[in-house]
Chains A and B, each alone.
Chain A
Amino acid sequence: MNEIQEERIRQNISAAFYRHGLLCASYPVPIILFTSASILTCCYPLLKLPLPGTGPVEFTTGVRDYSTPSHESQGDLSERPDWYRGPPVAYIQQVLVKAAVSPWDNSLVPVDVFRSPLGRVFSVLEEIRNHVYTDRSLEALCLQVTDLLPGLRRMQAVLPEHGCLLVSPGNYWQNRRDLFDADPDLLKTVHQHEPKGLHTSATLKDLLFGVPGKQTGVNLYSKKRVVTYTITIALSSYDARFVASLRARLKQLHPSANCTLREDHMVHVHFKEEIGIAELIPLVTTYIILFAYIYFSTRKIDMVKSKWGLALAAVVTVLSSLLMSVGLCTLFGLTPTLNGGEIFPYLVVVIGLENVLVLTKSVVSTPVDLEVKLRIAQGLSNESWSIMKNMATELCIILIGYFTFVPAIQEFCLFAVVGLVSDFFLQMFFFTTVLSIDIRRMELADLNRRLPAEAGMPPPKPGPLRPRETPPPPRPSPHTITLQAPAFRNLRLPKRLRVVYFLARTRLAQRIIMVGTVIWIGILVYTDPAGLRTFLAAQVSEQSPLGEAGLPPHLGVAPVFPGGDPTSTLSGLPAPEPTPLPENQSQGHRAAHPEVAPVSSPQITWGPEDEELWRRLSFRHWPSLFSYYNITLAKRYISILPVIPVTLHLSPQEAIDTRHPQDTHHAPPPSIKTSDLQTDLTLYKVAALGLFAGVVLVLLLFCLYRVLCPRNYGQNGVPHGRRRRGDLPCDEYGYSPPISEISPLLLRGHSMDIECLASDGMLLASCCLVGHIRVWDAQTGDCLTVIPNNGLRRSSSSGCWEHRDGWDHISACEAESLLGADFREPGGGAVGGQDVDIFPIRRRTTPARPALFGDQPDLTPLIDTNFGLSPPSQALSSSGFDFGGLVEKAYQEHEPSPTLAFPPSPPPVLPPELPPQNNGDWDSSVWAMELRGNLIATGRSSGKLELWDAVEGSLRCSNEDGVSGITALAFLNNRIVAARLNGSLDFFTVEITKPLGLLQYRGPPGRGSLPPSPCYSSEDVISCQLTRSVQCAHQKPITVLKAAAGRVVTGSQDHTVRVYRLEDSCCLFTLQGHSGGITAIYIDQTMVLASGGQDGTICVWDVLTGSRVSHVYGHRGDVTSLVCTTSCIISSGLDDLICIWDRSTGIKLYSIQQEVGCGASLGVISESLLVTGGQGCVSFWDLNYGDLLQTVYLGQSSEGQSVRQLLVLDNAAIVCDFGSELSLVYVPSVLEKLD
């Protein structure tokens, strides 16, 4: 019963999902709008949450009615921030001292500017320490500190320990006047604690002086000659009367004239929690893991139109579900207490992207021919059960977590539950809809792609790669091999390259640098606003002429500043009020100079900017001061009391009295210019550092560039260095591999399409439709021998006309031909060869085209034998002269002519077989050809086997034992195997009777470890004996015959493969396994046998035991070609796919989708280099990674000509049968480039 119920639930769920999928796919836009609206609604409560940030927050209260806030929050004061509860960590009372030696005297040395003013700090300190107000002393009120942190030994002498936290410049000299007086170099003492280099946090100088370093005036080149410093007292409890009395006392002792600093506001500064490096590292690690997770998850999204778009949608789904979760929790009154940044990665990981991926995969794997709506619905309903199950499991786990009763875990679980639910919601509505849109787009794209090529859908690609003499023609050729995205997605690129490509594609480095710079600037401005601003302001004021007036950084507006206390701002000019004179300053002396030396005499002014001088300090000033004593200000606040101003005027005499003997040894004050330079030193330092960093960066990038970019561009070794990278099909990342120029060598001479090709490494024999056999040197491409069809009858000038008659005859016969087999043209029996090319033809000479091709342009006027006068655009290069350009031009001129539709070439599918005509053996056509040593074996349609001498072109022997046409030949050692049309298999032995009795061996061995082919000299008598004939080898015609390693393998239409032993012609195995005729067989020296059939299957057999090793369905349609390497099997099929299989496991590694109608020819040059034939071109592939290395175009007139046969020679040359021409392509550079 339970099962039935479960089944019912399952069905219900899947039905519901089905309907939902239909809904989503039907109304994508309204649903997306609805989802966005709900996301925004749920996120709305987030606006109330404070923005994260670590900057301090301020709150100002009045001093007068101040009372320590209670711990309980009081609802009545709404403007009170949450943190303003309980007592502060400390009350900060600053005594701001401004001191100057006045009037300035030319007899004074620069050190006097600050020596005596600084010296007065000790007396002020003494005053403060000893101040008592109704039995309350500073000792009782101040913040008592204990040890410094253990890591700060070097600061022990400077910062107070075990007592009041009271810092002043006097701390440099342990608050002892005698030490100060004995100090020969005050500046050195002050600066010895400064850290080297740039820093953003508070330095010791800032801490002790309590004002930004720039404003202290403690340097030799100060223009204002006013020394400013503060005495900072940290009070643990606030006693208003004590502070007031201290203020009054100090003011009375050191009155500040015209000082109207406001004293009624107390500022509370709240510090947020700081994140140190130690906390940052784990945080960063979790985020790195998170990103790795997202990367690995979204990488699996496949088979969609826009992978990135869907990945983005998946991430958006998860993130917005988290935001919704937080928003909903806030809405219902739960305030998040956990650190959001810390738990965020865990939440994402818990919620996960799995469902999204499962959905995508399920939808994508539905049948493609369904409607989009149905696909979505079906995909959803397929996965509905597992999605629901996963969801329930996760909810259960989280609920268990909820019952741990640990508050933090409970909160986490709450967020996770809400997040999971909202994630489910978003998956169902948002992601599904996005997916449906994407799939619809993909189908549209598919539709577009399936339109015929004439519709102009393929983007025009520039012309093919040509020999470099040819000027680049702009003619687009639509037949380049283009890769489709899904095929490439399956390819394995090396990790290293992938990373580099990724970086290059996204310009990640630049963006990171840019973002980093912006963030850095932001941090600078944010963390140290005062410092930076003052610095800038100081720069501006110093450079402006107004700065000379001695006005502190008010920028240019200071003189006309109409603010609250104009007297204080404008008070620079009149002398300070003399009313309460400083102790030992004579009135007369002061009065003597008041207006005389205003230019040089320092003036002490008080302005509103002095009220809150601490604002100019780094915001880390207070936290770092307290942190020295292991007191953290994180999440706590301090209260800063209004500053107490103290003005000190010192007489020159006093300054002279306090001089240290060494002070006068200092250099006289340098000129203003150098002082400017000195003040600007920081700026220059920064600039120099930036410059240095820039140079280093440039060098680094340059090195990277040199390392990563191959020797491709930036190299001027090639005279015609215009390599058109755009010509190459780019890979997914927009990068095409480096090109090395490969120019095909065209072997011209045949007048008809080439039918048979054979090679033994040194020689190359080709046979065309009319039965001419040409022998070429495989190394140089020279034509060595021409064996005309009849061998005896050489041509006459009228041959070509007869030839054309032959054509006409054929086309007439075409109609009545009923047999569909693609066999050869038997006609042209009376046709002689061409008149001109009997002798070997060099590539250099243009073959005269027979008049047969009357519809082609006449190229004869283009032949210019005066090579010296050739135009520079077609300059000769070392490899020879090419008429490609001229020919091209002629073709272009010719093409528009409307009279003759240009037949691209004789069609690849040839006139079908005609019933054998009774015009003797010469009239039969060559159906099969093999070349070993010097001997060419040809099998004719009449069933005759002939042996020709390849060099001399003479017939050495022939055998006419068989009647049925020879469809395939194998020539191994001295045996020839011939397969006939009637399914019989004949074994011949070639016997050589050498008059000299010696066999000479010639040349390198053939491919693999074949025994070297014996060389037959012309004196030898060669006979060919039929040793055995297997009459009914197969029930149906034999289609494939291959021989290697002492075995002969035949494949036939009757679905079987047979293996024979070569020596005794004994049939070893009959291999059954295909359900269609055999179309391709591969066997090599290592006894690997693979076969492919019309059913699209590929079988791998063990030749020793006859057992089937593996069996895969590879193609839709026939397998057209099969090649093996030691590790993989490469197959191509009628479905235009090239599949690469793992040889041992039979697993498909990847597949390459080719253009429709591409040739099915394959060849393997080395273990990792694959060559395929296409429409007028051959492509080289890296087998390891599936990269397209290069496409070589075979010629200009390549349209519609597909490469049908591909032969890989020893010297890594490819011979392709390319219409009536042969192409020889050497691939040396590609080989050396491979890893």
Chain B
Amino acid sequence: MPRLEEHCWSCSCSASVKTQELSSARWVVCKTAEMMSIITSVLSHAYGSLHSLQSANLIRRGLVLFIVGVVLALVLNLLQIQRNVTLFPEEVLDTLFSSAWWIPLCCGTAAAVVGLLYPCLDQHLGEPHKFKREWASVTRCIAVFVGINHASAKLDFANNVQLSLTLAALSLGLWWTFDRSRSGFGLGLTTAFLATLIAQLLVYNGIYQYTSPDFLYVRSWLPCIFFSGGVTVGNIGRQLAIGSTEKPHND
């Protein structure tokens, strides 16, 4: 049963994770802290002048992204768990909420960070994202993302390589369809890399395990999921940033 699969996707930079892997992952902690400090410095720099005006807006966006991340994590987790154990939904829900309560929180935090980072990066690079900037496109993107997860959970593939390749193609397609920006691609890759690394470390330290790991300790399609997740959350974040800075009802 792929019960604990997917339990640790995009768990980057969460405090609770850090406390749980004490010694061996100390450098990750340092790295994460460093990254966080960089992020905060960038954020503070970017919003330095307009800080008082925009901080409330920032918090609001972060909150929305956090909630989106939590909900997506719960739903997708359920998607991964559900096969063969549908007979006792109460039990499934119990395990979902008891054993892995911190996973949605991590995912929410990660989503907030990534979603805030995207528009910030756009602003920094000076190339605002203009491609398909509307909520319909964002919803479509989310739907495709859920679809990719669905496919990874439910489809029976001949082998793992095929599965991973298909999902990689799908993720690239997602990026091409909805993003098409260099910064989005780069940030997505970074997210995927970091998140997979953290997942590896978590599994290595025995917090989690996969039923049939085929890529070191995790599943090989995990990076694809992380990549598309990053792109999706970034899409939401950008739309939120646009929606909050300029009024959407321009003629």
Mark A residues whose CB is within 8 Å of B. 149, 151, 274-279, 281-282, 285-286, 289-290, 292-293, 296-297, 299-300, 342, 345-346, 349, 352-354, 397, 400, 404-406, 408-409, 490-492, 627, 630, 632, 1142, 1145, 1147-1151
Contacts A151-B91, A1148-B250; A290 near B82 (Cβ below 8 A): no
Q: Is the CB of B82 within 8 A of A1149?
A: no
Interchain CA distance A843-B142 in the complex, whole Å: 66
Distance in Å from the Cβ of A331 to the closest Cβ of chain B? 26
Q: Which has the most chain A C-beta neighbours within 10 Å: B138, B140, B154?
A: B140
A-B pairs with lowest CB-CB distance, top 3: A276-B86, A277-B89, A296-B136
Please name 10 further chain A to chain B contacts, defined as beta carbons within 8 Å, in addition to the given A285-B71, A1150-B251, sorted by A numbering. A275-B86, A278-B86, A281-B78, A286-B147, A349-B144, A349-B147, A406-B166, A627-B87, A1147-B246, A1149-B247
Q: Is the CB of A1151 within 8 A of B251?
A: yes
Q: Is the CB of A296 within 8 A of B251?
A: no
Q: Is the CB of A397 within 8 A of B134?
A: no
Interchain CA distance A1142-B251 in the complex, whole Å: 12
Distance in Å from the Cβ of B156 to the closest Cβ of chain A? 7
Contacts A278-B93, A490-B251; A289 near B142 (Cβ below 8 A): yes
Identify the closest chain A residue to B81 (Cβ).
A278
Q: Return chain A residues, CB-CB under 8 Å to B88.
A: 149, 151, 627
Q: Is residue B75 within 8 Å, beta carbon to beta carbon, of the partner chain?
A: yes
What are 21 inter-chain pairs, A to B, with CB distance below 8 A?
A151-B91, A276-B82, A276-B86, A277-B92, A278-B93, A279-B82, A279-B86, A281-B78, A285-B75, A286-B150, A290-B143, A293-B143, A296-B136, A300-B134, A342-B150, A346-B144, A404-B162, A406-B157, A1148-B250, A1149-B249, A1151-B251
Q: Is the CB of A346 within 8 A of B87?
A: no
- Residue-wise interface mask of B (194-216) relative to A, using a CB-CB cutoff of 8 A (1 in contact, 0 not): 00000000000000000000000
Q: Which of B139, B142, B247 makes the CB contact (< 8 A) with A1142?
A: B247
Q: Is residue B135 within 8 Å, beta carbon to beta carbon, of the partner chain?
A: yes
Interchain CA distance A342-B147 in the complex, whole Å: 10
Interchain CA distance A353-B79 in the complex, whole Å: 27
Q: Which of A352, A400, A408, A632 makes the CB contact (< 8 A) with B140?
A: A352
Q: Return chain A residues, CB-CB under 8 Å to B144.
A: 346, 349
Q: Is the CB of A276 within 8 A of B87?
A: yes
Q: Is the CB of B140 within 8 A of A281?
A: no
Identify the closest chain A residue to B155 (Cβ).
A408
Q: Is the CB of A1148 within 8 A of B251?
A: yes
Identify the closest chain B residue to A397 (Cβ).
B173
Q: Is the CB of A278 within 8 A of B89?
A: yes
Q: Is residue B169 within 8 Å, beta carbon to beta carbon, of the partner chain?
A: yes
Q: Is the CB of B134 within 8 A of A296?
A: yes
- Residue-wise interface mask of B (69-83) relative to A, using a CB-CB cutoff of 8 A (1 in contact, 0 not): 001001110110110
Interchain CA distance A293-B135 in the complex, whole Å: 8
Interchain CA distance A1136-B138 in the complex, whole Å: 38
Segment 132-165 of B: residues with Cβ below 8 Å from A: 134-136, 138-140, 142-144, 146-147, 150-151, 154-158, 162
Distance in Å from the Cβ of B134 to the closest Cβ of chain A? 7
Q: Return chain A residues, CB-CB under 8 Å to B136.
A: 293, 296-297, 299-300, 353-354
Interchain CA distance A149-B84 in the complex, whole Å: 13
Interchain CA distance A571-B179 in the complex, whole Å: 80
Interchain CA distance A627-B169 in the complex, whole Å: 39
Q: Which of B87, B92, B143 makes the CB contact (< 8 A) with A630?
A: B87
Q: Is the CB of A632 within 8 A of B87?
A: yes
Interchain CA distance A404-B76 in the complex, whole Å: 24
Q: Return chain A residues, CB-CB under 8 Å to B134.
A: 296, 300
Q: Is the CB of A1147 within 8 A of B139?
A: no
Q: Is residue B36 within 8 Å, beta carbon to beta carbon, of the partner chain?
A: no
Q: Is the CB of A282 within 8 A of B249?
A: no
Contacts A151-B91, A409-B155; A349 near B162 (Cβ below 8 A): no
Identify the closest chain A residue to B89 (Cβ).
A277
Q: Return chain B residues, CB-CB under 8 Å to A289.
A: 139, 142-143, 146
Q: Is residue B15 within 8 Å, beta carbon to beta carbon, of the partner chain?
A: no
Q: Is the CB of B147 within 8 A of A346?
A: yes
Interchain CA distance A1147-B247 in the complex, whole Å: 10
Interchain CA distance A465-B161 in the complex, whole Å: 75
Interchain CA distance A1149-B144 in the complex, whole Å: 33
Identify the closest chain A residue to B79 (Cβ).
A282
Interchain CA distance A643-B92 in the complex, whole Å: 37
Distance in Å from the Cβ of B79 to the closest Cβ of chain A? 5
Interchain CA distance A397-B146 in the complex, whole Å: 18
Q: Is residue B85 within 8 Å, beta carbon to beta carbon, of the partner chain?
A: yes
Contacts A296-B135, A300-B134, A349-B147; A274 near B86 (Cβ below 8 A): yes
Q: Is the CB of B139 within 8 A of A282?
A: no
Q: Return chain A residues, CB-CB under 8 Å to B162.
A: 404-406
Q: Which has the most chain B C-beta neighbours within 10 Å: A292, A491, A1145?
A: A292
Distance in Å from the Cβ of B130 to the closest Cβ of chain A? 16
Contacts A278-B93, A346-B147, A409-B155; A293 near B139 (Cβ below 8 A): yes
Q: Which of A349, A352, A406 makes the CB contact (< 8 A) with B158?
A: A406
Q: Return chain A residues, CB-CB under 8 Å to B82.
A: 276, 278-279, 282
Q: Is the CB of B143 within 8 A of A345?
A: yes
Interchain CA distance A943-B76 in the complex, whole Å: 82
Q: Return chain A residues, CB-CB under 8 Å to B87.
A: 149, 276, 627, 630, 632
Q: Return chain A residues, CB-CB under 8 Å to B140.
A: 293, 349, 352
Identify the closest chain B residue to A1186 (Cβ).
B249
Contacts A296-B139, A406-B155; A1147 near B250 (Cβ below 8 A): yes
Distance in Å from the Cβ of A618 to the closest Cβ of chain B? 15
Q: Which has the most chain A C-beta neighbours within 10 Å: B87, B151, B156?
A: B87
Interchain CA distance A151-B90 in the complex, whole Å: 9
Q: Return chain A residues, CB-CB under 8 Å to B154.
A: 408
Interchain CA distance A277-B78 in the complex, whole Å: 10
Interchain CA distance A660-B134 in the complex, whole Å: 76
Q: Is the CB of A408 within 8 A of B156?
A: yes
Distance in Å from the Cβ of A264 to the closest Cβ of chain B? 34
Distance in Å from the Cβ of B88 to the closest Cβ of chain A? 6
Q: Which of A151, A278, A285 makes the CB contact (< 8 A) with B146?
A: A285
Q: Return chain A residues, CB-CB under 8 Å to B158.
A: 405-406
Q: Is the CB of B150 within 8 A of A292?
A: no
Identify the closest chain B residue to A151 (Cβ).
B91
Identify the closest chain A residue to B87 (Cβ).
A627
Q: Which has the most chain B C-beta neighbours within 10 Å: A282, A397, A632?
A: A282
Q: Is the CB of B85 within 8 A of A278?
A: yes
Distance in Å from the Cβ of B136 to the closest Cβ of chain A? 4
Interchain CA distance A278-B75 in the complex, whole Å: 9
Distance in Å from the Cβ of B157 to the closest Cβ of chain A? 6
Distance in Å from the Cβ of A298 to the closest Cβ of chain B? 9
Distance in Å from the Cβ of A676 to the closest Cβ of chain B? 36
Q: Return chain A residues, CB-CB under 8 Å to B150.
A: 282, 286, 342, 346
Interchain CA distance A406-B74 in the complex, whole Å: 27
Identify the closest chain A residue to B149 (Cβ).
A282
Interchain CA distance A296-B239 in the complex, whole Å: 13
Q: Return chain B residues, CB-CB under 8 Å to A292.
A: 135, 139
Identify the closest chain A residue to B144 (Cβ).
A349
- Residue-wise interface mask of B (206-228) relative to A, using a CB-CB cutoff of 8 A (1 in contact, 0 not): 00000000000000000000000
Contacts A404-B162, A406-B162, A1149-B249; A346 near B156 (Cβ below 8 A): no
Q: Which of B71, B92, B157, B249 makes the CB contact (< 8 A) with A490?
A: B249
- Residue-wise interface mask of B (222-251) relative to A, using a CB-CB cutoff of 8 A (1 in contact, 0 not): 000000000000000000000000111111
- Residue-wise interface mask of B (88-100) relative to A, using a CB-CB cutoff of 8 A (1 in contact, 0 not): 1111110000000
Q: Is the CB of B75 within 8 A of A282?
A: yes
Q: Which of B92, B157, B173 makes the CB contact (< 8 A) with A278?
A: B92
Q: Return chain B residues, CB-CB under 8 Å to A627.
A: 87-88
Distance in Å from the Cβ of A1089 to the closest Cβ of chain B? 24
Distance in Å from the Cβ of B110 to the closest Cβ of chain A? 19
Q: Return chain B residues, CB-CB under 8 Å to A349.
A: 140, 143-144, 147
Interchain CA distance A349-B140 in the complex, whole Å: 6
Q: Return chain A residues, CB-CB under 8 Å to B143.
A: 286, 289-290, 293, 345-346, 349
Distance in Å from the Cβ of B101 to the closest Cβ of chain A? 17
